[in-house]
Amino acid sequence: MCGIVGYVGRKKACGVLIEGLKRLEYRGYDSAGICVQYDGSLAMEKCPGRIVGLEQRIASSQPIHAGRVGIAHTRWATHGEPSERNAHPHTDGSDRIALVHNGIIENYVTIKKYLEDKGHVFKSETDSEVLAHLVGEFYDDGGGPLEAAVQAALAEVSGTYGIAVICADEPGKIVAARKGSPLIIGVGKDEYVIASDASAIIEHTANVVYLSDNEMAVITTEGCRTTTLDNVPVSKEIEQVEWSLEQIAKNGYADFMLKEIFEQPEVVRTSLRGRLDLRDMRVTLGGLANVARQLVSTHKLILTACGTAWHAGLVGEYLFESLARIPTEVEYASEFRYRNPIVEEGTVVMAISQSGETADTLAALREAKEKGALALGIVNAVGSTIARESDSGVYLHAGPEIGVASTKAFTCQLVVETLMALMLGRRRFMSQTEMEGYLRALAQIPDQISTVLEQSDYIREIALRHVERENWLFLGRGYNYPVALEGALKLKEISYIHAEGLPAAEMKHGPIALIHDGMPVVFVAPRCPTYDKIISNIEEVRARKGRVIAVATEGDEHIRRYADDVVYVPACPPPLQPMLTVIPLQLLAYHAAVARGCNVDKPRNLAKSVTVE
Ligand code: G6P
């Protein structure tokens, strides 16, 4: 989704801004722009398409290369097509104020009408330009300072925003504000880098200030002053970003997605570290220590999330119900937040999110808190909004995930859910012997993932055999039913092949009509209590001449009789299987997408972090 970068300092702003935009490319965008203060005016350039295009445009602009304060933006179209005039920054009527905006101004039509009646003429179709004009209107009325005009404008606005604003008449200053869309201020030596995502900052400093909702900052070379939008001073702590530059580089891999798939043994190990204790045979989750009692005695758990994280939630439903015997529901965050859900006393709501910024998941978390639930977060991005607004939670420790299609965050979400389910299970009904069996098996998972990754070339051959097919099915049962959904999602989002995931038995109730000569059907079929049933489902597909790709347990020769291709994963208890069975499906999607010439890190129309509703 849209990205913001701003710079105030002694360096030439342009280099920092363009570099920052490149770091944010992974979020998904369709146009970009930059605006720099120079010699009492604003120098601006924007264009549709890639950031390299913007670089070419500004190559000969002396003012853009000379200024030391500026703002820049990558846009992901919501209001109006990707084009030069709809790209940010947007200016007010006098072209003296420029603004970049993430989020959506919901009442922009009313404000636009009000401003048009006062003579304002708009160049774009965006809601963001309306906000720029509104700031300009208040600036003209009050004569500054810029922060007062921004405050006055935001008081009239409903919706969500992260904004950075500069004014030609107030050199050396950026005003930033947020409500519902993240903004982080990197605090360097005599310089500040403002961004919507830490990855644009870490090259410059690890010291950051996270703006909270309804807060703003006035940033100059002399310092950074933070207040509420009502101008009440707020003192903010400087926090540390743990991510390093190396973690956000490709390190020799062709794509971030491939790198992140191959990082999984290591990140799962990190996610288990200090939590899985094989000496005392127990699980310690420090982030939940203060709510453990409430969690153990809960009578209902609701997991809420979007996309891949929702699939992790579905696995969680099986884990929490079977290992901890806690009644569990999984809800799309977008549905949970709007349907006035019944949240009885004692209910625990857990939001699962890689970015910690997904608009619907955040809103669902807030809805849960509003209704009195204990609200937990399973989040990857440290310091993100969901992490900060949850009552308690557990970090994934997967490191930055840049590839739009989530991979390592998914496996770490499974790790955290498994640890939680075991911890709760042990305190409720599980025997120590059973617990020890699971813990030993869990400790094997990183090495077992490595074994699966070794088959990447073989999985590539399978992908190449079927890559021309435009429709695929993914089927699984029990713990592996959500894995089938995730396999289908991975394939469709990066290769644009249509794929559907289903519980294997549901195939008979409709989708079997699709199966015909040569259609690829992926069965996630490791050894488990429903193994025989899934073999019957495989037979049903073969009878209709579907091509069967099976993910099976090492040593299962029997399945070879039924499947055209078999990828083996090491044996482990069924609750842990998704951490292994998902790996071949990630690789299958990856290799299919590469074979079809798709850009796996930047799939069309998709965004890494969906901060609009
Ligand atoms: C986007 C991404 C998905 C991700 C989903 C939820 O749609 O493209 O990969 O699963 O958002 O994101 P979150 O950051 O909340 O896990």
Q: How far is the CA of 377 from the centre of ligand 1 (A)?
A: 15
Name the residue among 605, 609, 596, 526 with its Cα closest to residue 78.
605
Token couple for 248: 């956000």
d(CA 89, CA 185) in angstroms, rounded, equals 19
The verdict on the CB of residue 610 being under 6 Å from ligand 1 is yes
Kindly report the protein residue whose alpha carbon is nearest to atom 7 of ligand 1: 307
Q: Output the residue whose Cα is nearest ligand 1's atom 5.
A: 307
**354 Cβ closer than 6 Å to some ligand 1 atom:** yes
Tell me: pLDDT of 101 over 90.
Answer: yes
Residue 30: the pLDDT is 87
CB atoms within 10 A of CB 538: 21
- pLDDT value at residue 180: 84
Q: What is the mean pLDDT of the chain?
A: 94
- Give the number of the atom of ligand 1 that is nearest the alpha carbon of residue 405: 9
Q: Whose CA is nearest to atom 8 of ligand 1?
A: 608
Residue 97, classed as helix, strand or coil, is strand
Q: Side-chain half-sphere of 63: how many Cα atoms within 13 Å?
A: 14
Q: Which pLDDT belongs to residue 246?
A: 76
> Does the pLDDT value for residue 605 go beyond 90?
no
Q: Is 375 in the pocket of ligand 1 (CB under 6 A)?
A: no
| Residues 299-313: tens digit of each pLDDT | 999 999 999 999 999
| 150 neighbors 165 (Cβ within 8 angstroms) | yes
406 lines ligand 1 (CB under 6 A): yes
What is the pLDDT at residue 181?
87
Nearest protein Cα to ligand 1, atom 2 = 608
For the Cβ of 499 lying below 6 angstroms from any atom of ligand 1, the answer is no
pLDDT at 245: 75
Calculate mean pLDDT across residues 250-275: 93
Nearest atom in ligand 1 to the alpha carbon of residue 607 is 8
pLDDT, position 475: 97
CA of 459 to the centre of ligand 1 (A): 25
The residue whose two tokens read 């310092």 is 223
Tell me the CA–centroid distance for residue 494 and ligand 1, in Å.
Answer: 13
- Is 403 near ligand 1, meaning CB less than 6 Å away? no
Distance CA 493, CA 77 (A): 18
Dihedral over Cα of 131, 133, 135, 137: its sign: negative
Taking the centre of ligand 1 as the mean of its atom positions, its distance from the CA of residue 354, in whole angstroms, is: 7
Tell me what the mean pLDDT of segment 19-48 comes to.
92
Query: In whole angstroms, what is the distance from residue 565 CA to residue 237 CA?
Result: 55
Report the nearest-CA residue for atom 3 of ligand 1.
Answer: 307
Strands 192-195 and 223-228: unpaired
The string of pLDDT tens digits covering residues 394-422 is 999 999 899 989 999 999 999 999 999 99
H-helix or E-strand spanning residue 486? helix 480-495
Nearest atom within ligand 1 for CA of residue 406: 9
The Cα 56–Cα 4 span in angstroms is 20
What confidence tens digit (pLDDT) does each residue in 475-508 have?
999 999 999 999 999 999 999 999 999 999 998 8
Q: How far apart are CA 75 and CA 31, in angstroms?
A: 5
- Split at pLDDT 50, 70, 90, the class of 443 is very high
CB-based contact 195:24 (threshold 8 Å): yes
Ligand 1 centroid from CA 320, angstroms: 22
* Ligand 1 pocket test target in 605, 606, 610 with most atoms within 8 Å of CB: 610
Helix (H) or strand (E) holding 104: none
Six-digit token string for 405 = 């299609």
| Residues with catalytic function | 2, 608
What's residue 242's pLDDT?
A: 79
The answer, yes or no, to whether residue 247 has pLDDT greater than 90, is no
- Secondary structure (H, E, C), 21-44: HHHHHHHCCCEEEEEEEECCEEEE
Q: Which atom of ligand 1 is nearest to the CA of 355?
A: 14
When pLDDT is averaged across residues 592-597 and rounded to a whole number, the result is 96
- Rounded to the nearest whole angstrom, what is the distance from the C-alpha of residue 309 to the centroid of ligand 1? 7
The model's confidence at residue 602, banded by pLDDT at 50, 70 and 90, is confident
Composition of the chain by helix, strand, coil, percent to 5: 40, 25, 35
* Ligand 1 center from residue 308 Cα (angstroms): 6
Using the atom order of ligand 1, give the atom closest to the CA of residue 381.
Answer: 14
What is the distance between the alpha carbons of residues 368 and 5, in angstroms, rounded to a whole number? 32
Q: Is the CB of 208 under 6 A from ligand 1?
A: no
Query: Lowest-pLDDT range, 19-33, 258-272, 346-360?
Result: 19-33
Judge if the beta carbon of residue 355 lies within 6 A of ligand 1.
yes
pTM for the model stands at 0.83
Å from CA of 355 to ligand 1 middle: 7
Place of tokens 């006098």: 94
Give the CA distances from residue 9 to residues 77, 121, 172, in Å, rounded to whole numbers and listed in that order.
30, 34, 8
Q: 3-state DSSP call for residue 13? A: helix
